[in-house]
Amino acid sequence: MTSAAIHSPPVAKASGAGQTIFQRNLRQFAANRLAMASVGVVLLFVLLAIFAPFIAPHDPNETDLFRRLQPPAWQAGGEWAYLLGCDALGRDILSRIIYGSRISIFIGAAVIFVATTVGIAAGLAAGYFRGWVDVAISRLVDILLSFPYLIFAIGLMAMMGPGLVNIILALAYKEWVIPCRVVRGETLATRELEYVEAARALGASSAHIMVKEILPNILSPVIVVSTIRIAHVIILEASLSFLGLGVQPPTASWGSMVADGRAFILGAWWVSTFPGLAILLLVLAINVASQGLRDAFDPRFQE
């Protein structure tokens, strides 16, 4: 972002002494305690995912029919070694939730990474070259936006079959449209600014102008949108897994764990409740954190 401060006087004007706009925004974000707490929760989940084998008290796929539907520790019949109880195959729910965080976070991050990369490339090309490139990309965006997200993903999963890579692809096929629209709009506005014109006059190539001049200056809104979208993608993945179209058993994923518990809502409330609570916590934390990011980094939300 330092290059942003050098290159674009209209956007990145230092406000305080020796502070770039980025530093000021970052400080504003850090002052938002609720947002920082949410970042903490998200980080906690990321750590859980990375160190799952060391943190999880049990093997997530180890079945024990003697512990079938064993209630959580604080209920009669529960054990502290199996804090959140066990599912219908006697697997430890806490361990499965910890391992399940890997799926949610990995798929969420992978989809957003792929989608943002493709979206930035397509959006830059559409906004910079305009003309038929813009028409072609924008039409494709319009068409993809015409599909409700879940049905589109379901259709693709039906076609490609289940599997980790296929889920990422099925979601990314539509997700890139969102960063693309943001980047296109910002590029259209930025390409007319003086410093871009100056670079062009100096003989810089289109690729150089797009990547080195325009991109750094439009990155903030893209990052803000992408963090908000991670929460959506996590819910979509969980929804696909819930429907049985996502990650296949026995791999623990939060959506399929909630689905497993559906058959036992009469007696074993914990089987569905805890994995769902994990989804809610993570998604809520991402939503609050990204709202804080937006308030701090998006000039449109600044008073």
Near another protein by CB under 8 A: residue from 57, 148, 249, 250: 148
CA angle 233, 237, 238 (to 5 degrees): 115
Assess 266 for contact with another protein (CB under 8 A). Answer: yes
End-to-end distance of the chain based on CA atoms, in angstroms? Answer: 23
Assess 111 for contact with another protein (CB under 8 A). Answer: no
* CB 48, CB 58: distance < 8 Å: no
d(CA 186, CA 236): 27
* CB 153, CB 240: distance < 8 Å: yes
Q: Which stretch binds another protein (CB under 8 A): 6-14, 105-113, 218-226, 264-272?
A: 264-272
Q: Which stretch binds another protein (CB under 8 A): 69-77, 190-198, 202-210, 234-242?
A: 234-242
Assess 269 for contact with another protein (CB under 8 A). Answer: yes
Q: For the chain, state the CA radius of gyration.
A: 23
Near another protein by CB under 8 A: residue from 230, 238, 247, 252: 238
Could you tell me which residues are beta bridge partners of residue 247?
none
Assess 243 for contact with another protein (CB under 8 A). Answer: yes
Assess 233 for contact with another protein (CB under 8 A). Answer: no
Shortest CB 157 distance to another protein, Å: 7
For 243, counting Cβ atoms within 10 Å of its Cβ (0-12 exposed, 13-18 middle, 19+ buried), the class is middle
d(CA 288, CA 268): 31
Q: Which stretch binds another protein (CB under 8 A): 14-22, 40-48, 187-195, 230-238?
A: 230-238
* CB 237, CB 24: distance < 8 Å: no
Sequential DSSP letters for 12-59: ----STT--HHHHHHHHHHH-HHHHHHHHHHHHHHHHHHTHHHH-SS-
Q: Which two tokens stand for residue 280?
A: 């809610």
Q: Which two tokens stand for residue 70?
A: 């064993």
Assess 10 for contact with another protein (CB under 8 A). Answer: no
Could you tell me which residues are beta bridge partners of residue 246?
none
Binding mask 18-57 for another protein (x = CB under 8 A): ----------------------------------------
Count of other CB atoms within 10 angstroms of residue 57:
12
Q: Which of residues 274-303 bind another protein (CB under 8 A)?
A: 275-276, 279-280, 283-284, 287-288
Q: Which of residues 156-185 bind another protein (CB under 8 A)?
A: 156-159, 161
Shortest CB 254 distance to another protein, Å: 8
- Cβ proximity to another protein: between 53 and 249 the closer is 249
Assess 231 for contact with another protein (CB under 8 A). Answer: yes
- Cβ proximity to another protein: between 151 and 202 the closer is 151
d(CA 136, CA 263): 48
d(CA 122, CA 138): 9
- Cβ proximity to another protein: between 4 and 279 the closer is 279
Binding mask 120-139 for another protein (x = CB under 8 A): -------------------x
* Interface contacts to another protein, rule CB under 8 A: 139-140, 142-144, 146-152, 154-159, 161, 231, 235, 238-239, 242-245, 255, 258-259, 261-262, 265-266, 269, 272-273, 275-276, 279-280, 283-284, 287-288
